[in-house]
Amino acid sequence: MLTIACVACLQACSREAKSPDAAHAPAARAAVGPAPGAGDSVPVSPRAVVGRAPVIGGVRPIVALDARGEQILPTPSGVPILDQYLLTFVPEVLFVRTGQSAEFRNSDGVLHNIRVRVTGSNVPAFNIALPTGGIYRHMFDRTGIYDVLCDIHTGMSAAIIASSTPYAMIADAKGNFVFNDVPPGKYTLTAYLSAGRRLDRDVDVGEGRTEVTIE
């Protein structure tokens, strides 16, 4: 599961995109994983876990659903992508699963670097230069939240959330969340709130829709 290091990280993860043009970056269209704040605005499958978590001080919670016991969760079918486009990281928050490679791209016409470190520390994950059209892959082997920076363009920043489960997202502004196509089984639902708080609840998922409120 995740460890929330500080309120500032949650606030950074809850931001809206800085530039509407950045949403049209090539990698943004190909990015894999749950969109931050998808909430009740996304289609709901017949076998979904749907619920709500507290929103405190306007900070949307990070919600994760992880299996209890030896249940094997599905492996994501695509590669999560973080692009650099119009001097912006796209998306601003990228979800990856531990043991899964993520792809980093430069779709700008200028040289960038990508410096990734564990949030709240100087522990580096990697620091590489990425020329125009460059691609770099990295596998995250530990759960947590990572800061992403470009030292060449200091106004650029993003966050990576690495989780042991494919079911992780940022709830919407009302705290709503949806996890589609969850296999039946026993799970733990965790909501990471501001000020380092977290809430846990055991959830039994059946063949139909499962509704849960965590508070």
């949650």: which residue's tokens?
10
**Would you state the pLDDT for residue 1?**
55
**Would you state the pLDDT for residue 75?**
83
**Would you state the pLDDT for residue 77?**
82
- Is the pLDDT score of 120 beyond 90? no
**Would you state the pLDDT for residue 29?**
40
pLDDT band at 48 (very low <50, low <70, confident <90, very high): very high
Cα–Cα–Cα angle for 103, 22, 6, rounded to 5 degrees: 70
Concatenating the DSSP letter of every residue in 44-90 gives: --SSEEEEE---BTTBPPEEEEEE-TTPPPPPPSS--EEEEETTEEE
- Is the pLDDT score of 70 beyond 90? no
Domains of the chain: 7-213 (2.60.40.420)
Per residue in 158-195, pLDDT (tens digit) is 999 999 999 999 999 999 999 999 999 999 999 999 87
Phi, psi of 73 (to 5 degrees): -90, 155
**Would you state the pLDDT for residue 4?**
43
Per residue in 77-94, pLDDT (tens digit) is 899 999 999 999 999 999
- Is the pLDDT score of 67 beyond 50? yes
**Would you state the pLDDT for residue 37?**
43
Higher-pLDDT residue of 9 and 209 is 209
Cα–Cα–Cα angle for 14, 12, 60, rounded to 5 degrees: 25
């030292």: which residue's tokens?
151
pLDDT band at 72 (very low <50, low <70, confident <90, very high): confident
Quote the mean pLDDT of the chain: 84
pLDDT band at 22 (very low <50, low <70, confident <90, very high): very low
